[in-house]
Copies of this chain bind each other. A is one copy, B any other.
Amino acid sequence: MAGQSVTDLPTPALTVDLEKVKRNARVMLERFQKLGVQLRPHMKTHKTVECADIMTAGSRRCIVVSTLAEAVFYADRGFEDILYAYPLPFDKVERCAQLSERLALFQVLLDNSAALEELRRRPLKGGKNWHVWLKLDCDNKRAGVPHSDPAALHLALAVSQTEGAELTGVYAHCGNTYSCSGVEQIKAVAAETTTSTLQFMEKLKANGIHGVKCSIGSTPSCSHPVADMALLSEVHPGNYIFYDVQQSLIGSCQLEDVAVRVLTRVIGHYPHRNQLLVDCGWTALSLDGGGRLPTGYALIEGHPDLKLLSMTQEHGRMEPVSGKLDYAKYPLGSLLSLIPYHACATAAMHPVYFVHSEGTVVDTWTPTRGW
């Protein structure tokens, strides 16, 4: 495929703009270097080794993953200092133990004492300790102990007092930035999450627990960090490497920063219902976003008047936002470029990504899948 124009790719195809990916990676790295905060990039959006190399500037160190399959995938490729930032699943303790024993630094996360008990029942070999992050819920309302709940401090103390385990860090995901609109709102949530996390760190210190890292993340907050974030040890955004329409609407990025597209071709003209058909169904784009954009499930690049109305497994129905469709603009076989609503969801549908530089394919990246 290398050397080919993206416009000659069989469709549907996920394309990745290498220059934009490099720029997004560099901007984020430099932003937190300046703040003196370690960037621990999240792999969940792309799940490829090539993109991980770009996000870690070639160090293959200090990453976060969403599945154990990702952890193993990266460990097998020489990555180190991997944080499996997912509430410890009891069925995966043995595999986590093996990774902990094998790597110089593998880290797990938990938010309940039953998980700690599971770790206690599986001491690591070779005199190693479990490296444990405590998941704090700073009003994101997904996983984690609520930051103001005394149970959070109790659990932190329990981890630090457990033989064979050490409290390595405190982790909060400010996913509630996803309901923000604009930089001001993003910064308000980032500030709140940072304050809650730092206040909790003070409580730890007051209880004699020192040397613990703290990390918050989400692409919106890390794209517009507040000054206090300089007091964190780490941040862990992920989506920023690709960005997407959702992030541009939240205010994390400009639309021109979005590095991924789904290329699709016109496969049907249906003037009797003012529609055309494209070869992009939900297997190529996902149903994320629910079609809530004025242009439906995606933005159609260069065609703001066109709407991706609905999708089935392999078909997408398009129609004009208003008025009559000018079919001469969209001949059968012609190519359209969709900017995805949610890059993580769209990338998850593709067994291979076509990486290009200024429209010429330079590489293909193969993500890992499963759990």
Known A90-B333, A268-B87; contact A143-B11, beta-carbon cutoff 8 A:
no
Interface of chain A: mostly helix, strand, loop or mixed: loop
Asked if B114 and A11 make an inter-chain contact with CB atoms under 8 angstroms apart, the answer reads no
Task: Name the contact of A175 in the complex, choosing from B287, B312, B352 (C-beta under 8 A).
Answer: B312
Asked if A11 and B87 make an inter-chain contact with CB atoms under 8 angstroms apart, the answer reads no
A177 CB within 8 Å of chain B: no
Q: List, in ascending order, chain B residues with CB within 8 A of A44's CB.
A: 313-314
A166 CB within 8 Å of chain B: no
A138 to chain B, nearest CB (A): 14
Q: Give the segment of A48-56, A244-252, A277-285 that binds chain B.
A: A277-285
Asked if A277 and B143 make an inter-chain contact with CB atoms under 8 angstroms apart, the answer reads yes
CA distance A282 to B287 in the complex (A): 10
Asked if A313 and B344 make an inter-chain contact with CB atoms under 8 angstroms apart, the answer reads yes
Known A288-B287, A313-B344; contact A269-B142, beta-carbon cutoff 8 A:
no
Q: List, in ascending order, chain B residues with CB within 8 A of A88's CB.
A: 267
Residue of B nearest to A90 (CB): B333
A3 CB within 8 Å of chain B: no
Q: List, in ascending order, chain B residues with CB within 8 A of A317's CB.
A: 142
Q: List, in ascending order, chain B residues with CB within 8 A of A10's CB.
A: 89, 91-92, 95, 371
Asked if A282 and B345 make an inter-chain contact with CB atoms under 8 angstroms apart, the answer reads yes
Residues 340-371 of chain A, each 1 if its beta carbon lies under 8 Å from chain B, else 0: 00001100111110000000000000000111
Q: List, in ascending order, chain B residues with CB within 8 A of A112's CB.
A: 268-269, 332
Known A86-B314, A89-B267; contact A146-B272, beta-carbon cutoff 8 A:
yes
A151 to chain B, nearest CB (A): 10
Residue of B nearest to A111 (CB): B268
A288 to chain B, nearest CB (A): 6
CA distance A142 to B273 in the complex (A): 10
Residue of B nearest to A117 (CB): B332
Q: List, in ascending order, chain B residues with CB within 8 A of A283's CB.
A: 348
Q: List, in ascending order, chain B residues with CB within 8 A of A13's CB.
A: 371
A147 to chain B, nearest CB (A): 12
Interface residues of A in 221-273 (CB under 8 A from B): 265, 267-270, 272-273
A38 CB within 8 Å of chain B: no
Task: Name the contact of A149 in the complex, choosing from B67, B86, B272 (C-beta under 8 A).
Answer: B272
Q: List, in ascending order, chain B residues with CB within 8 A of A95's CB.
A: 10
A125 CB within 8 Å of chain B: no
Residue of B nearest to A267 (CB): B87
A286 CB within 8 Å of chain B: yes
Q: List, in ascending order, chain B residues with CB within 8 A of A349's CB.
A: 348
Q: List 8 interface pairs A-B (beta carbons < 8 Å), by A numbering.
A: A88-B267, A90-B265, A90-B332, A91-B333, A114-B332, A142-B312, A146-B272, A290-B290
